Chain A
Amino acid sequence: MKRLLQIGILLACLAFLSWFGHRHLPWLDLNTCMADPERYDGALVEDFREPLIAAVYQDGFLLQQKNGPSIRVQADTAGLGLRKGAYVGLRARYHREGYLEALSLNVAEGRRRKIYLSLIPLLLLLPLLAWRFRWNVRGWYLEPRDNA
């Protein structure tokens, strides 16, 4: 009973602080700006939803978000190696006319590769944990197996 109470309290703390982080995040996101362009004209935007480059132009690119609106970004593209389909890290100023002016920009080269590579240790860890620990049904807890 005491353990269940501890688990409940910890879950409540995690939930509250997740909400707190969401509510008081210092970054402004693009969707908020696009919902009220007049209010956020000139605002600094730092939060995007998995942003990637949909098209490259001479004076910038088209930024596409996953499950979100796209927007034109004005940027000095020389030497940045921008290419369609690449993920980007971006800080930009929003303009009510419906475009962003890039302040700092980084092409996240190899992000997909990084994600796939990251699956390897995860896939190795899960069997290792299953091999070293077992679930005690009667006590309702994990304990090391004899091989640990």
Chain B
Amino acid sequence: MPDLITHTLVSHLLRRPLDWRSASRPWQGLRPLFYLGVLLPDILTRPFYIIFPVTKTWTIFLHTPAGALLACLLLTRLLREDLRRSAFFWIAGGALTHFALDALQKQVTGNNFWLFPFSWKNFSLPLLRPEDFMALIPLFLGLTLVLEAAFFVFRRRTPFTNR
């Protein structure tokens, strides 16, 4: 899978335009949960099997959409009741962008079991190696800066709160 900086930047580039017209909505306060969702599939698996490789086969499920969605539901149970629905969509949205980006990676063995537990079919469109993603970090960072600059200019002209 790509590194988590790539995951974060690409997901931010995909999500950020949504703020253009809806930055003042109440559910926007939960935006950090989107980034939790982006990192969640790897948080649930990588630390465990990198430190304890014997746990790898136990954690593979947690790096599937089904596992991530169950983990999202579990996390939202820890939030105040009126926030849970919005929080679920933020976390799940982040997790789905994670899987979409993972699918673009070339791998010797599969890692995109989108239909688990019904199938072990590996869904991928192998375009880039992990090191290619790392080489693209400056590009993603540059695009993020351009996008944020556009937001900064736009905000100065028309405050979000009035939109």
**Hey, which bits of chain A sit against chain B, CB under 8 A?**
3, 6-7, 10-11, 13-14, 17-22, 24-27, 29, 46-47, 49-50, 65-68, 89-91, 104-106, 108-111, 113-115, 117-122, 125, 128-129, 132-133, 136, 139, 141-144, 148
Task: Tell me the chain B residues, 1-60 only, with Cβ under 8 Å from chain A.
Answer: 3-5, 7-8, 29-30, 32, 35-36, 39, 42-43, 46, 49-50, 52-54, 56-60
Task: Compute how far the CA of A143 lies from the CA of B26 in the bound complex, rounded to whole angstroms.
Answer: 13
Taking a contact as CB atoms under 8 Å apart, the answer to whether A117 and B134 are in contact is yes
B57-94 vs A: 1/0 string, CB under 8 Å?
11111101011001101100111110100000000000
- Chain A residue numbers with a CB within 8 Å of B79 are 141-143
Task: Give which listed residue, A10, A91, A109, A141, contacts B70 with CB less than 8 A.
Answer: A10
Q: List 23 A-B contacts (CB under 8 A).
A: A7-B74, A14-B67, A18-B59, A20-B61, A21-B58, A21-B60, A24-B117, A25-B60, A25-B120, A27-B109, A47-B57, A67-B54, A89-B109, A104-B108, A105-B108, A117-B3, A118-B3, A120-B4, A128-B35, A142-B78, A142-B79, A142-B80, A148-B29
B123 within 8 A of A: no
> A21 vs B35: C-alpha distance in the bound complex, in angstroms?
26
B139-159 interface (Cβ within 8 A of A): none
Give A46 to B57 CA distance when docked, in angstroms.
Answer: 12
Across the two chains, which residue of chain B brings its CB closest to A25?
A: B57
- List residues of chain B with CB under 8 Å of any chain A CB: 3-5, 7-8, 29-30, 32, 35-36, 39, 42-43, 46, 49-50, 52-54, 56-62, 64, 66-67, 70-71, 73-74, 77-81, 83, 106-109, 116-117, 120, 129-131, 134, 137
Checking B42, B70, B106 against A118 with a beta-carbon cut-off of 8 angstroms, the contacting residue is B42
Query: In the complex, how many angstroms separate the beta carbon of A16 from the nearest chain B beta carbon?
Result: 9
Total inter-chain residue pairs, C-beta < 8 Å? 142
Neighbouring A residues of B3 by C-beta, 8 Å = 114, 117-118
* A7-B130 in contact (CB<8A): no
> Least Cβ distance of B28 to chain A in Å?
9
A117 to B35, CA, bound (A): 16
Closest Cβ of chain A to B38, distance in Å, is 8
A45 to B32, CA, bound (A): 40
Given contact pairs A25-B57, A27-B109, A148-B29, a sample of 17 additional A-B residue pairs in the complex whose CB atoms are under 8 Å apart: A7-B74, A7-B77, A17-B66, A18-B59, A18-B61, A18-B67, A21-B116, A29-B57, A47-B56, A89-B109, A105-B108, A117-B5, A118-B3, A118-B42, A125-B36, A125-B39, A141-B80
